[in-house]
Structure 1
């Protein structure tokens, strides 16, 4: 979930590949460093990062103890902070919101990737919108090596996120230059409006729906996604919220997707570094006969253990099972 997606402003790279040059970081002194998200506690001389949002999750916060600030900058599109935590490893923060941590990133990356890939009979061509930390690319390469996925196109507007991820999150961004990956530095909306290509799977790994990224959670975006899909294609996108926060928003988002797609489901993964410990995903297809809750393709248990840390065929199906009150609200009749 690491992308600054801007429907009104495209990158001046105009579709070119990201440079491999990583910005050089100067040593950052925590005692003199100032950032809205980092607080000094004098009692034990500790520094803490706090994620708070009056819009998305009012009245609560998520905190991590900061060992050191590794990098901070403002790119053309967003505030980027990377710090080392005492318990979650390196942490990537965009505009004050955690995008991933070394400790638990695999849960989100695996579910958002393998749910649609394993639900498709032959996912040859894959498009990723956003995903600058390259975690989704890492997961997709597993299917390239398995001779299933043939081409991967990733469209990310902020190449600074990619550059910094290669340096500070190397286990996530180790395949950004893979020969089967076409990396496009451009605006996701612009790419979808202009492309004539069709894809079997589209993964939207976007930032939260605040500011310019709001349009990536509207019905018009679902129409653009459907126009770039093959007839049996599948799309998946992070929903930003979970059932413990704004469940009404989830119902509305599923409703928007249902205006475009014949088959829409909501699933969730466990993520301790995301507020309330869960994150939801919207999965959709035009094919009403494809039961997205049951993988069309399966690996044996030994292969699952070799490839995955979070995903397996049972997790695939169970991710769609919601508590009674949430299921009735989100999936009940309008």
Structure 2
């Protein structure tokens, strides 16, 4: 079916048998880049929305929940996260959040599709502002190639990807996990978007990712959060490390209330950090490769 019918955009391919619909006031932009179909929509209730290959990437209404959690779950679990690599993240949201951690000195964002960056700068400046921070360096290139040139350089690697289709499919393969390990400093942490716990296909992705991680990392865990504009209102993050001193469930760095207010955090808190690792029993049984 067409993604927009009678004034509504429907994301259905990633949610078998169901779909999430957003009422559209205006199609702000539509094009086919060398890598994917891109749309920017003005929606009635969710503000501006970025759509890649008919999949919702972010909406103005709730993007902060994803950006804050995928950033601070790994950063606040690391004892001293000075150098950060973000693979994907072409909208600038993860960069915007990661610079707020006081230990972070530099952030390299590697995005393969320059058109995502340019359109974010034009239509999503509240996210693309992350690229303007002096800590951030943007690279328009393939993440695999970038990591090959940067062995043992990063304390934290965050994979901010869409679903495992199109240019993002390679970011869900074992070879990618091995590349991340090679680019990590000893004791480093990885964090990757892993889909919804409520979708069978995403569960299979989680199983595959956790299995492949188990061949490379000693400690593997899953966090899950709510976000209305993603399928089933849920998204999960797979995290891993070889640092036996890391306790993902207890942040080693805790933002104070004053710091959270200063940085305008709307979702993340030390308490929510801990709670996000309390996953349902059916997922615990589905993912035998989780170690913590």
Asked if these proteins are the same fold (TM beyond 0.5), I'd say yes
1:52 pairs, out of 8, 12, 37, with 12
2:245 pairs, out of 286, 289, 292, with 289
What corresponds to 2:213 in structure 1? 257
TM-score of the two chains, using structure 2 as the length reference: 0.94
What corresponds to 1:84 in structure 2? 42
Residue 288 of structure 1, CA deviation: 2.4
Residue 243 of structure 1, CA deviation: 3.6
Task: Output the CA distance in 2 between the equivalents of 1:255 and 1:184.
Answer: 30
Q: Secondary structure at the match of 1:160?
A: helix
What corresponds to 1:160 in structure 2? 115
Matches within 5 A, 1:137-286: 137-143=95-101, 146=102, 148-196=103-151, 198-246=153-201, 247-286=203-242
User: Structure 1's 63 and 221: CA in aligned 2 closer, same or farther, altered over 3 A?
Assistant: same
1:310 pairs, out of 262, 267, 277, with 267
1:123 pairs, out of 65, 76, 81, with 81
User: Structure 1's 200 and 103: CA in aligned 2 closer, same or farther, altered over 3 A?
Assistant: same
How large is the RMSD of aligned CA atoms in angstroms? 1.8
TM-score of the two chains, using structure 1 as the length reference: 0.83
Task: Output the CA distance in 1 between the equivalents of 2:256 and 2:134.
Answer: 28
Q: Secondary structure at the match of 2:65?
A: helix
What corresponds to 1:10 in structure 2? none
User: Structure 1's 189 and 322: CA in aligned 2 closer, same or farther, altered over 3 A?
Assistant: same
Task: Output the CA distance in 1 between the equivalents of 2:290 and 2:229.
Answer: 33
Do 2:225 and 2:276's aligned partners in 1 also have CA atoms closer than 8 Å?
yes
Unaligned residue ranges in structure 1 (runs of 5+): 1-34, 41-46
Residue 328 of structure 1, CA deviation: 2.6
Do 1:62 and 1:275's aligned partners in 2 also have CA atoms closer than 8 Å?
yes
Do 1:241 and 1:250's aligned partners in 2 also have CA atoms closer than 8 Å?
no
Matches within 5 A, 1:12-51: 36-40=2-6, 47-51=7-11
Unaligned residue ranges in structure 2 (runs of 5+): none
Q: For residues 104-152 of structure 1, what are the alpha-carbon distances to aligned partners after superposition, in whole Å with 9 as ceiling and x for unaligned?
A: 0000000000011101111111111010000001001212xx3x11111
Q: For residues 300-326 of structure 1, what are the alpha-carbon distances to aligned partners after superposition, in whole Å with 9 as ceiling and x for unaligned?
A: 223224331100111111111112222
User: Structure 1's 304 and 80: CA in aligned 2 closer, same or farther, altered over 3 A?
Assistant: same
Task: Output the CA distance in 2 between the equivalents of 1:140 and 1:79.
Answer: 28
Larger gyration radius, structure 1 or structure 2: 1
Q: For residues 47-85 of structure 1, what are the alpha-carbon distances to aligned partners after superposition, in whole Å with 9 as ceiling and x for unaligned?
A: 0000011xx421111100000010111111111000110
Residue 159 of structure 1, CA deviation: 1.1
Q: Secondary structure at the match of 1:251?
A: helix
Equivalenced residue count is 289
Task: Output the CA distance in 2 between the equivalents of 1:243 and 1:83.
Answer: 26
What corresponds to 2:23 in structure 1? 65
